[in-house]
Amino acid sequence: MAFGSGASMSLPRMCLAWLVHLYTASGAVLGFLAMSAVFDGDFKAAFIFLAIALAVDSSDGALARAVEVKRAIPWFDGSLLDNLVDYLNFVVVPVAIFMQPGILPEGWAYLSLAVLVASAYGFSRTDAKGMIEHYFLGFPSYWNIMAFYFVVLATPPALNLGFVLLAVVLVFVPMRWIYPSRSSVMRLPTIALGLVWGVMGVWMLAALPEPSPVIGAISLFYPVYYTGLSLVYTLRY
């Protein structure tokens, strides 16, 4: 329930608003811990921290709207804070994973630095998110998911590089990628399938460093479904 206006509510609302912003900012701490784990060679810990960061990112928006953070602290930009944290967790940390031995072809890993530039462009677009229809314009920063599958499926480095470069190009292509939790297009089945996929992801994460390649392959149903739905949505609307 949203809080009403009034002087008597100002201090409680401000305190709650700051707590929500602190909750969002905690994602930066999780990103730093994930980065440290990557350089320690502990992919399991890195993905655990990224998974927690994803949970924070998926829930802080609803909390912000419930507390009405923009009214409580109008001079503080929670959206900008969220973008800063997201860029760290879903762009910088995955690129650090791409740079690790065995992920991309030897001598070619530095091409993944293009992800940093492309995503900086994507994050800076004022029309990056459709605010009415709720979609992402251009490939969203799903680099963490891509990195997760590279590790879980142990896919060939050359194939991994191909997917990374293709996604870099797709950042600049005006395709509308569905916003799973907010879009009205196939929302319920998308969320339901996403929950199934999430359970499979936790299962694979728990099994690292020896995840089941069968479960990993089956779980690809959701990225394929999501990409197909987004393509159909782009072509029809």
Placement of tokens 């600049």 in the chain: 172
Q: What is the pLDDT of residue 7?
A: 44
DSSP calls for 35-60 = HHHHHTT-HHHHHHHHHHHHHHHHHH
Q: Which of 104, 75, 84 is nearest to 27 (CA)?
A: 84
How many residues are there in the chain?
A: 237
Six token digits for residue 39: 């350089």
pLDDT the model gives residue 158: 97
Task: Check: pTM over 0.85? Answer yes or no.
Answer: yes
Q: What is the pLDDT of residues 68-117, one digit of tens each?
A: 898 889 999 998 999 999 999 999 999 999 999 999 999 999 999 999 99
pLDDT at res. 130: 63
Please compute the mean of the pLDDT values over residues 4-12 and round it to a whole number. Answer: 57
Q: List, in order, residues 6 or more apart from 90 with CB less than 8 Å away.
A: 141, 142, 143, 144
User: Is the confidence at residue 5, as pLDDT, over 90?
Assistant: no
β-bridge pairing 176-178 and 135-137: antiparallel
Torsion of CA 45, 50, 56, 59, to 10 degrees: -130
pLDDT category at 151 given cuts 50, 70, 90 is: very high
Mean pLDDT score across all residues of the chain: 91
Which of these, 142, 131, 229, 128, lies nearest to 188 by C-alpha position?
229
Positive or negative, the CA dihedral 176, 179, 180, 183 is: negative
